[in-house]
Amino acid sequence: MIYLDNASTSWPKPTVVPETMAAFLRDTAANPSRSGHILSIKAGKNVLAARTSVAEFFGESDPLRVVFSHNITTALNTVLRGFLRPGDNVVTTGMEHNAVMRPLRRLESSGVHISIVPCSSTGLLDPDDLRRSLNSHTRLIVINHASNVCGTVQPVAEVGAIAREHGIPLLLDTAQSAGCFPVHMKESGADILAFTGHKGLLGPTGTGGLIFGKGFDPEQIDPLVTGGTGSASEKEEQPVFLPDRFEAGTLNACGIASLAAGIKFISTLGMSALAGRKQELASRLVNGLMEIEGVEIQGDPLKEISVPVVSMTTKRISCSSLAQKLDERFEIACRAGLHCAPAAHMTLGTFPEGSLRLSPGIFNTMDEMDITVNAVRELVEEGSQ
Ligand SMILES: Cc1ncc(COP(=O)(O)O)c(C=O)c1O
Question: Which CATH number covers residue 254?
Answer: 3.40.640.10
Q: Which domain holds residue 292?
A: 2-10+270-382
Probe ligand 1: pick from 68, 97, 149, 355, max atoms within 8 Å of CB? 97
- Residues 285 and 237 reside in one and the same domain: no
- Residues 248 and 103 reside in one and the same domain: yes
Nearest atom in ligand 1 to 198's CA: 10
- Residues 249 and 280 reside in one and the same domain: no
pLDDT by 10-residue block (mean), the chain, 385 residues: 98 98 93 90 95 98 98 98 98 98 98 98 98 98 98 97 98 97 94 98 98 97 96 95 97 98 97 94 98 96 91 97 98 97 97 97 98 98 82
> For the whole model, what pTM was predicted?
0.97
pLDDT in tens, 179-193: 999 999 999 999 999
Distances (CA, A) of 168 to 181, 215, 286, 344: 26, 11, 38, 24
CA distance 90 to 211: 20
Question: Which of 249, 268, 287 is at the close of a domain?
Answer: 268
Question: Which of 229, 251, 268 is at the close of a domain?
Answer: 268
- Residues 195 and 145 reside in one and the same domain: yes
Q: Is 222 helix (H, G, I), strand (E, B) or coil?
A: coil
- Residues 251 and 163 reside in one and the same domain: yes
Distance 272 CA to ligand 1 centre (A): 23
For residue 318, the domain's CATH number is 3.90.1150.10
**Number of structural domains found in the chain:** 2
- Residues 92 and 216 reside in one and the same domain: yes
- Residues 229 and 372 reside in one and the same domain: no
- Residues 306 and 161 reside in one and the same domain: no
Question: Which of 234, 268, 302 is at the close of a domain?
Answer: 268
Nearest atom in ligand 1 to 340's CA: 14
**From atom 15 of ligand 1, which residue's Cα is the shortest distance away?**
175
- Residues 261 and 139 reside in one and the same domain: yes
- Residues 97 and 208 reside in one and the same domain: yes
- Give the pocket of ligand 1 (CB within 6 Å): 71-73, 97, 99, 144, 148, 173, 175-176, 196, 208
Distance 69 CA to ligand 1 centre (A): 13
- Residues 352 and 241 reside in one and the same domain: no
> Residue 385: its pLDDT value, please?
57
CA-based end-to-end distance of the chain: 25
> Residue 34: its pLDDT value, please?
86
Is 340 designated active site? yes
Q: Which of 119, 150, 254, 340 is catalytic?
A: 340
CA distance 308 to 315: 24
> Residue 304: its pLDDT value, please?
83
CA distance 262 to 18: 10
> Residue 248: its pLDDT value, please?
97
Distance 176 CA to ligand 1 centre (A): 7
> Residue 79: its pLDDT value, please?
98
- Residues 111 and 253 reside in one and the same domain: yes
